[in-house]
Amino acid sequence: METFERECWNQAGSEAIQAAAKAIADETGKQPCVRVGAAMGELSTPLLRRLYRHWSDLCADGLPSYRAIDPLDFKFALGHVMLVEPVDDGADFRYRIGGTVVAQHYGIEMTGKRVSECYLPVSSAFYLATYREVMERPRPLYTFHIPPRRVPVIHWERLLLPFADEAGRVVRILTGVVSGGPRAPESETG
């Protein structure tokens, strides 16, 4: 199995993340990097570092309130931001904001849809496992992975940031998503 040309952290997180990451690796030949509890200094993408800094500034008294989410505060990242909320206690998640840049890559508008409706099953399982991890253990989570070949991007970098209600339960996850650019079309053989 190939490894990335970047430092790849050991897998972390739940067994569900481990299983979903293995399924991605089985399909793509490349093990996803997953970092639970990611720190800003570990992020290589300026947009994700800036989004992390914004979230961190809201964390003065613990997890920031979901009421503090104001898209104007992170307009620098709007096309790359997705905001999800748990559905049925985290059985699925609904996009309140679906990043337009991400939607362009997939060719569908994600706002209002559930994660399970938007992706290939192997990708849905991976994304759902990471969202559940952040919901159950509220802390930032970073992933870097090669998507299945049918997805027209080289790689995805994602940063998941939890927001809570008054009781401290995670009710929104702000996700910054950056692609590695478009994947070259497969050459025709034969």
For residue 61, the model assigns a pLDDT of 80
* pLDDT computed for residue 90 by the predictor: 95
Q: In the prediction, which pLDDT does 106 show?
A: 77
Q: Which amino acid is at 97?
A: I
* pLDDT given at position 190: 37
pLDDT score recorded for residue 184: 72
The reported pTM is: 0.89
**What's the confidence (pLDDT) of residue 189?**
37
pLDDT score at 157: 92
Taking the CB of residue 157, how many other CB atoms lie within 10 A of it?
20
- In this prediction, residue 104 carries a pLDDT of 84
Start-end of H helices in the chain: 15-28, 46-57, 100-106, 115-118, 121-136
Q: Quick check: 86 and 171 in contact, CB under 8 A?
A: yes
Residues 123, 102 contacting (CB under 8 angstroms)? no
Task: Say what the pLDDT of residue 153 is.
Answer: 81
Residues of the chain with pLDDT under 70: 1-12, 185-190
CATH class label, 15-134+148-179: alpha beta
CA gap 10, 21 in Å, rounded: 12
Quote the CA–CA distance of 113 and 186 in Å, as a whole number: 30
Cα–Cα distance for residue pair 126/18, rounded to 1 Å: 9
Give pLDDT, residue 135: 95
